[in-house]
Amino acid sequence: MYQPSPQDLAAYDRDGVICLRSVISSELIEVLARGIDACLDRPGPKGRNFNNDGTPGRFAGDVFMWTFNADIRRFLRECPLGEMAAAFMRARRVALMMDQMFVKEPHTPARSPWHQDQTYMYADGEQLCSFWVAVDPVTRASGAVEWVKGSHADGTLYKATGFDPKITYETEDYVSLPDIEGHRADYDIVAFETEPGDIVLNHLRTLHAAPGNATDSRRRAVAFRYAGDDARYVVRKKGSRPIEDPGLKPGDPMPCRIFPLVYPSSELGISA
């Protein structure tokens, strides 16, 4: 089993985010890049452009790509992320909650707003994490994600913010986001510039945002969201829905066909 160093475990627990270098092989990065490009050409039923307001460039997204793209399924079967999620979350079993693509093509000024992942997702609990895997070199200028270190620690759930300016998730169930951008000096903000093969692991409550892509290079990435033993299915009043009905009731454990078990054994359920 993958064993993170005590220093890495402590950093993840304390900061809610950590960058791990040279984790994914170059072969699997190529597999993931093929999958991303195929999904850009042939989006799934939830594929979209977030900057559909006439702004320049293309900020594209898609989810649950493993259900219709063989390269994404191969990446998930062969990558170490499920095992790593178990190790960092101290979980006995890990389910894949979703994959989520974020592509900012060259000269796309669209920002990713400050948010935390959990209030968009389909589960609540402590054992919830995400791996951000980019297939291109990522710099601050091309859209490296910024993170507020330690923002996961007090358990606060914040109102989800719409990436698409035409969609709102406003509900009174959660706390309003603070004005992080207007008071950056008040927060411990970190960004990781990465090479293909590096990954960024975050707790789903860790606040983060990303600038647009001001370069001539692409910024293609997928976030893989995982749920551990204590995660329970939730249906939020406003928010996204899975690609299909998981057949779960609120409060049920996560593993099912659409949230397949990936550790200790894989139940992706669809062959290549």
Cβ pair 65, 47 in contact under 8 A: no
CA quadruple 55, 46, 167, 76: dihedral, nearest 10 = -90
Residue among 74, 76, 93, 73 nearest 85 (CA)? 93
Neighbours of 191 (CB within 10 A): 19
Residue 253 lies in a domain: no
pLDDT at 170: 61
260 domain-assigned = no
Sign of CA dihedral 177, 182, 186, 189: positive
- How many domains does the structure of the chain reveal? 1
pLDDT number for residue 25 = 97
Tokens of 16: 């809610």
Tokens 């860790």: give the residue: 206
Does 244 reside within a domain? no
Asked if 31 contacts 75 with a C-beta cutoff of 8 angstroms, the reply is yes
Q: Specify the pLDDT at position 211.
A: 97
59 in Cβ contact with 142 (< 8 Å): no
Residue 162: inside a domain: yes
Q: What is the pLDDT of residue 270?
A: 43
pLDDT for the residue numbered 269: 55
39-62 exposure pattern, b = at least 16 Cβ within 10 A, e = fewer: bbeebbebbbbbbeeeeebbbbbb
| CATH for 46 | 2.60.120.620
* pLDDT in 10s for each residue of the chain, 272 residues: 689 999 999 999 999 999 999 999 999 999 999 999 999 999 999 999 988 778 899 999 999 999 999 999 999 999 999 999 999 999 999 999 999 999 999 999 999 999 999 999 999 999 999 999 999 999 999 999 999 999 999 999 998 877 765 666 666 789 999 999 999 999 999 999 999 999 999 999 999 999 999 999 999 999 999 999 999 999 988 778 899 999 999 999 999 999 999 999 877 754 33
Six-digit token pair at 144?
A: 């490296």
In a domain, 243, yes or no: no
Q: What is the pLDDT at residue 165?
A: 58
φ/ψ region of 54 (left if φ > 0, alpha if ψ in -120 to 50, else beta) reads left
Domain membership of residue 242 (yes or no) is: no
Determine if the pTM surpasses 0.85: yes
Residue 198 covered by a domain: yes
pLDDT of residue 238: 74
Domain that holds residue 121: 6-227
DSSP E strand boundaries for 170-234: 189-191, 199-203, 208-210, 219-227, 232-233
Domain assignment present for 17: yes
The predicted pLDDT at position 172 comes to 73
The pair of three-digit structure tokens given for residue 67, joined into one six-digit string:
């259900």
